Structure 1
Amino acid sequence: MDTRIPTLAGVVALVLTLMTRPAAAHVDYVTDGPGAALDAVAFALSVLADPVNAAVFGVSGLAVTGGLAAYLWVRPTIADVVVLRDVLAGYADLVPWMLRLSVGLPLVGAGFQGYLFAPTVTFDPTASPLVRLLFIGLGFTLLFGLATRIVTAVGLVTYAWAVSVDPGVVLAMEYVPAFLALLILGGGRPSADHMLQQVASTDGTYYGRVDPVHHLKGFLDSATAPYRESVPVVVRVGMGVTFIYLGLFQKLADPGRSLLVVEKYDLTAVVPVDPGMWVLGAGLTETLVGLVLIFGFMTRGAAAVSFVLFTTTLFGLPDDPVLAHITLFGMASAVFTMGAGPLSFDEWFGRPARSDRGTAVSAD
């Protein structure tokens, strides 16, 4: 009997279990006001006190545990997965571009629509034109890839200022690891930075005679080179923390507000289970995905599952702001491309691609 079959079945069970849960969503983005004040522990115990609910959770837990146990026991090398990893490793130079798009687009939207990173923290664009111009300017320069490291540094300072103005900006915490990754990687290519660097560093060009910036860029590239290997860690851990915040603090710790989402979208008509099961299922799933990403276990699989969760959110919750999730989409794509990187279970236990350790290198 092929020993890869139980492992494959376990992986499929894990994916199906995650996909049948509610999609990841910022509860604050789709609800108005707080829900009923419910004790989180008492709520969870009351839901699991129902034998049907307990059985569903028990079967799901056994399926996931069995699948993971089979994977750890067999540890197969499937040729298709190996080839896929190596192909993804060849997309290394596109990671900065993915991150720039995923940060630049929502920043432009934030400036035009008038909010500070998180759609729930709004400002009047006509009364604060400089703030509006700041966000639009940050967004467009990142989209162009112009002075990327300087712009991301300004972005980090702006985020810190926004949190001091309104702690609700923490809902958009995914900007921080994305900014940090770009601060290390630079603009990559295609980008204005790469284009101008090539022109300025070529002997005999007019631009090279008048532009001193490319010397600074060369220095920054050399200074950040030792840290590029850590970019997968920064992105996956940042994404994992975001998932844990969504699952643990927004759902499991505040079940009353999460129940408002179930009621608003009539989710029990989609999957006919107890409303409390939706809340616990969503919270536990997002927390589990977050932990898997932080520890770097089956990282590309977790990134693929998170991408599916974001997509089903957009289809299932029609008024959930699309721009608010673009950064997480980009981060999931980057993690799927780079893999776990160092300081991960995958690197210690698995069989990484031939160049996984080098997938976060800028192509300047």
Structure 2
Amino acid sequence: MSDHDHGHVLSAKSRDLERDTFIFIHLQTSKLFMGFNQKVTPVTSALIHRWVAFLIGDRGPPEPFWLCPVTLASAGIMAYRMVASGPGIDPQSSEPLPPGNYGWYFDSACTSCWGPPNLANSPFRLTTIQGRLEDMKEYLSEDFERHEFPPIANVTAATARDQGRCRFTGATENTTVAWIIPPAVSWETQDFGRQSDWDQAPFVVTPNLITMHSTLKPHFYGNNFTVDVDDNRRIVILRSMGDAQRLLPSHLPDHILPTPEVDHYLRLHCRYTLNAMLLNGDISETYSNGLILQTMHELGVNHIGYHDYHESDMVPFDDPGWTTELGREIMADVLRQRLALSRYRADLEEEEADAETDAHSDDDDDELV
């Protein structure tokens, strides 16, 4: 499936996650706010509403909203404007949400869509746990030693609690004990205003350790899957995991009785995962305004739509710059601008001709008088 089958160009994040379902909000133009890969985890309107409330947490409840199917019209180069193309979906609907484009509206009639939802102060970064660990590795050597080698006493206690079995698969072979939320990134689970004085101590505890199959560890830290504790501990997959995906059941097995303490850290992992994997991914994150303007300049496209525009300023059409994703979008905008300018000039000439005809008619009337 090509990007344009979605009605818009996919960002690097959306392409990497193989998203097929997109939720837009409207600012000056429409921006992608959330995206899903329903090939690995189907969603419903009710589930999205529950996850949004979960992400907002203590800052909620969220302002009521409706999802509405939309079509996207071009609003410039790598920019779009959404237009409602169907009725709003019942917020409590448990019907599968068909893949496609949706708008975030604040009324059931899908007329009010201005402004972003109240997730701007989400206490989690938009990167994976593994990505954050790699970013921090150079200057947090002490924390990383603790990350790689949890205290022996805690590991021993977690192993005994889990009976040496993977909490996800029940297997006893090829297992490891790892943090659910590595203490080195624990500050990212807190509201921004509380991060400066955050203490890691509450995360250097046995309930924050879990026994898992070694193959699953990079996927757990890559936020490719998580556990939705409040949905009967359902295992939610956010990115295709290849062969490792076959190891996972639909729900966390009950061979080990769940405890509120472990559930607390699993919820934090779930919130971290939903933030990192579902939020954002707008095309502007891949193609900034600066990059677009620079590429336009390189292609000689500087005055599209104005009277001083000359096609001779542009590089030849066989230049490889036109074959890139951005180059093709710039050319499409050139053609749109050229068509709009042509129509404007035609309308102007028609108005001038009509005015001249009216003037001649008035002169003829004067002569008859």
> Which structure would you say has the larger RCO, counting Cα contacts within 8 Å and 6 or more residues apart?
1
TM-score with structure 1 setting the length = 0.28
The structure with the greater share of residues assigned to strand is 2
From the CA coordinates, give the structure whose radius of gyration is larger: 2
